[in-house]
C-alpha cells in the first residue's frame, strides 16, 4: 500500500460525490479549452492568412472592435511615398451576415493589388476587372453559402455574380467572399474608406528598417497604427478583447469549480474527523494530514482536468462544424493549451483543498477521536 492507495481509496469511498466534483472542474476546464481554443484558432487563422498573402506591415485605425474602424483611403498615397514601401494595397474587410451565412468575412480588395496574387482559381475564373459586379468565393465560403459558379449572391442590398471559386491557402481566405474594393465600398456604404493598408517592404529590408517604417507611419498620421504582420495578432484590440472575453468566461467557470472542490473537501474533512483523529493518534504528522487532503484535491483536479480537456476537445470539434464558426476560424487545440488547462485544474484542486486541509490539520486528536 502506498500513499496513492490511501488517496484513491478515500476518493472512491463516495464515488458519486467524487465524480460530480470532478465534473465541476471538468466543465470549467472544458470552457477554457473551448473558448480559448476558439480565440486561438481565430488568431492562428489570421496569422496564416497574412503569411500566405506575404504582408509585411499592416496599417489600420487604432479604434474598432473585432475589425478596425474604417479610415480615408487617401492615406494610401502618402504612405506609398515613404521609404521602404515596395508594394502597397488597400482592403476593406467586414464580418457580415450574407444570405444563409450568419457571419462571414467579406473582403473588398484594391483591384490589381498583391492581395489577389495568392488566390488559386479552383473553378470558374477571376473577375475581368475591378468594375465587373462579380465576386469569387473561398472554397469553404462556397460550401457554406451553397453557391457555385454562375449563381448570384446578395451582399447588403447589392447583387453580384459568383464568377469563381478560389483556394486562398488559408482558412480565413477560404472562408471569405472576395471582391473588388470599390464594389464593396459601395455595397457597404463605406465609399472612399478602407480599414487596412497592406504593405510589402523590399526583400533586403531588415527588422530595423521595418520598425522604422512602422514608427514613421504612426508618427505621421494621428490615430493610425502600423504593425509588423507577425505582431498584428498580439497588438490588435479585437484579438485582445476576444482573448480577454474567452479567459474571463473560463475563469468564471473555474471559480465555480473551485467552490465545488472546496465544498467536497470540507465535507470530507467533517465526515472524516474521527478518521483524522485516528491517524493523528497513530502518529501521523499534521503535514501528512495536510498532504493527504491536498493530494486528494489535486487528484480530483488532475482527473477533472483530463475529463475537461476531453469535453473541451469534443465541444471544439462540434463548434467547428457550426455555420456561425465555419470559415471564420479553425478551433485550435494545442499541446500548450492542454498543458495549461491541466495545470489550471491542478492549481484549482490544490487551492480548493488548502482551507479544508488547514481545518483538518488543526483538529485535536482527542476531540477528533470522539467525533
Partner 1 sequence: MLPQPIPPPAPVIFEASGLVKEFDDGRVAALQRVDFKIASGEFVALVGPSGSGKTTLLNMLGLLDSPSSGSLKYRGDEMAGLPDPSHYRAQEIGFIFQSFHLLGTFTVTENVQIPMFGQGLSAKARAARAAELLDSVGLSHRLNHFPVKLSGGERQRAAIARSLANRPGVLLADEPTGNLDSKNAAQVMELLAQLQREHQTTLVLVTHDREVAAHASRILTMRDGRIISDSAAS
Residue span binding partner 1 (CB under 8 A) among the ranges 103-111, 127-135, 226-234, 284-292: 284-292
195 closest CA partner among 49, 90, 104: 90
What distance in Å separates the CA atoms of residue 114 and residue 198, rounded to the nearest whole number? 9
- Smallest separation (angstroms) from partner 1 to the CB of 369: 7
DSSP 113: S
- Smallest separation (angstroms) from partner 1 to the CB of 283: 2
300 closest CA partner among 347, 361, 356, 250: 347
Residue 17 binds partner 1 (CB under 8 A)? no
Q: Which of 278, 314, 317, 343 binds partner 1 (CB under 8 A)?
A: 278
Helix axes 3-12, 286-319, angle to 10 degrees: 60
Residue 294 in grid coordinates: 491536498
In sequence order, the β-bridge partners of residue 198 are 58, 89
Helix, strand, or coil here: 74? coil
Nearer residue to partner 1 within complex by CB, 84 or 275: 275
Residue 247 binds partner 1 (CB under 8 A)? no
Nearer residue to partner 1 within complex by CB, 2 or 207: 2
Q: b/e per residue, 83-107, with b = 16+ CB within 10 A?
A: ebbebbbbbbbbebebeebeebbbb
Element (H, E) at 200: strand 196-200
- Smallest separation (angstroms) from partner 1 to the CB of 346: 23
Residue 49 in grid coordinates: 492568412
Torsion from C-alpha of 207, 70, 326, 200, nearest 10 degrees: -30
- Smallest separation (angstroms) from partner 1 to the CB of 367: 9
Nearer residue to partner 1 within complex by CB, 10 or 198: 10
- Smallest separation (angstroms) from partner 1 to the CB of 298: 18
Most distant CA pair in the chain, distance: 91
DSSP 67: S
- Smallest separation (angstroms) from partner 1 to the CB of 211: 59
Residue 19 binds partner 1 (CB under 8 A)? no
Nearer residue to partner 1 within complex by CB, 245 or 281: 281
Q: Segment 288-347, which members bind partner 1 (CB under 8 A)?
A: 288
Q: Which of 132, 151, 167, 275 binds partner 1 (CB under 8 A)?
A: 275
Residue 229 and residue 197 in contact, taking contact as beta carbons nearer than 8 Å: no
What distance in Å separates the CA atoms of residue 68 and residue 76, rounded to the nearest whole number? 16
- Smallest separation (angstroms) from partner 1 to the CB of 275: 6
Residues 6+ apart with CB under 8 A from 286: 280, 361, 362
- Smallest separation (angstroms) from partner 1 to the CB of 23: 23
Residue span binding partner 1 (CB under 8 A) among the ranges 68-76, 166-174, 256-264, 280-288: 280-288
- Smallest separation (angstroms) from partner 1 to the CB of 267: 16
Residue 121 binds partner 1 (CB under 8 A)? no
Work out the end-to-end distance of the chain between its first and last CA atoms, rounded to an integer number of angstroms: 26
Residue 206 binds partner 1 (CB under 8 A)? no
Nearer residue to partner 1 within complex by CB, 111 or 358: 358
Number of residues that bind partner 1 (CB under 8 A): 25
What distance in Å separates the CA atoms of residue 317 and residue 335, rounded to the nearest whole number? 16
- Smallest separation (angstroms) from partner 1 to the CB of 341: 31
Residue span binding partner 1 (CB under 8 A) among the ranges 33-41, 211-219, 259-267, 361-369: 361-369
Residue 267 binds partner 1 (CB under 8 A)? no
Residue 183 and residue 127 in contact, taking contact as beta carbons nearer than 8 Å: no
Residue span binding partner 1 (CB under 8 A) among the ranges 104-112, 203-211, 347-355, 363-371: 363-371
Q: Which of 9, 148, 240, 362 binds partner 1 (CB under 8 A)?
A: 9
Residue 35 and residue 208 in contact, taking contact as beta carbons nearer than 8 Å: no
What residues make contact with partner 1 under the rule CB under 8 A? 1-3, 5-6, 9-10, 12-13, 274-275, 278-286, 288, 364-366, 369
Amino acid at each position: 500500500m502506498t500513499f496513492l492507495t490511501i488517496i484513491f481509496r478515500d476518493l472512491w469511498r463516495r464515488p458519486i460525490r467524487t465524480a460530480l466534483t470532478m465534473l465541476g472542474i471538468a466543465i470549467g476546464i472544458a470552457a477554457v479549452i473551448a473558448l480559448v481554443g476558439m480565440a486561438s484558432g481565430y488568431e492562428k487563422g489570421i496569422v496564416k492568412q497574412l503569411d500566405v498573402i506575404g504582408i509585411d506591415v499592416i496599417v489600420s485605425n487604432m479604434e474598432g472592435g473585432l475589425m478596425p474602424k474604417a479610415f480615408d483611403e487617401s492615406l494610401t498615397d502618402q504612405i506609398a511615398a515613404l521609404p521602404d514601401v515596395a508594394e502597397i494595397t488597400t482592403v476593406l474587410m467586414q464580418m457580415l451576415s450574407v444570405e444563409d451565412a450568419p457571419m462571414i468575412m467579406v473582403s473588398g480588395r484594391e483591384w490589381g493589388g498583391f492581395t489577389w496574387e495568392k488566390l488559386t482559381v479552383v473553378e470558374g475564373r477571376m473577375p475581368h476587372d475591378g468594375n465587373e459586379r462579380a465576386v469569387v468565393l473561398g472554397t469553404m465560403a462556397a460550401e457554406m453559402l451553397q453557391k457555385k459558379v454562375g449563381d448570384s449572391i446578395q451582399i447588403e442590398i447589392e447583387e453580384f455574380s459568383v464568377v469563381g471559386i478560389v483556394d486562398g491557402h488559408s482558412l480565413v481566405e477560404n472562408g471569405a467572399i472576395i471582391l473588388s474594393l470599390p464594389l464593396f465600398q459601395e455595397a457597404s456604404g463605406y465609399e472612399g474608406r478602407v480599414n487596412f493598408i497592406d504593405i510589402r517592404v523590399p526583400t533586403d529590408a531588415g527588422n530595423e528598417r521595418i520598425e522604422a517604417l512602422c514608427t514613421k507611419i504612426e508618427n505621421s498620421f494621428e490615430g493610425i497604427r502600423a504593425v509588423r504582420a507577425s505582431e498584428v495578432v498580439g497588438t490588435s484590440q479585437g484579438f485582445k478583447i476576444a482573448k480577454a472575453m474567452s479567459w474571463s468566461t473560463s475563469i468564471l467557470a473555474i471559480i465555480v469549480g473551485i467552490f465545488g472542490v472546496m465544498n467536497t473537501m470540507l465535507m470530507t474533512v467533517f465526515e472524516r474527523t474521527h478518521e483524522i483523529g485516528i491517524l493523528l493518534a497513530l502518529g501521523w504528522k499534521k503535514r501528512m494530514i495536510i498532504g493527504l487532503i491536498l493530494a486528494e484535491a489535486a487528484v480530483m483536479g488532475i482527473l477533472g482536468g483530463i475529463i475537461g480537456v476531453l469535453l473541451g476537445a469534443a465541444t471544439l470539434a462540434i463548434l467547428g462544424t457550426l455555420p456561425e464558426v465555419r470559415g471564420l476560424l479553425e478551433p485550435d487545440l494545442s499541446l500548450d493549451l492542454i498543458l495549461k488547462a491541466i495545470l489550471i485544474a491542478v492549481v484549482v484542486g490544490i487551492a480548493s483543498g488548502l482551507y479544508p486541509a488547514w481545518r483538518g490539520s488543526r483538529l485535536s486528536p482527542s476531540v477528533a477521536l470522539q467525533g
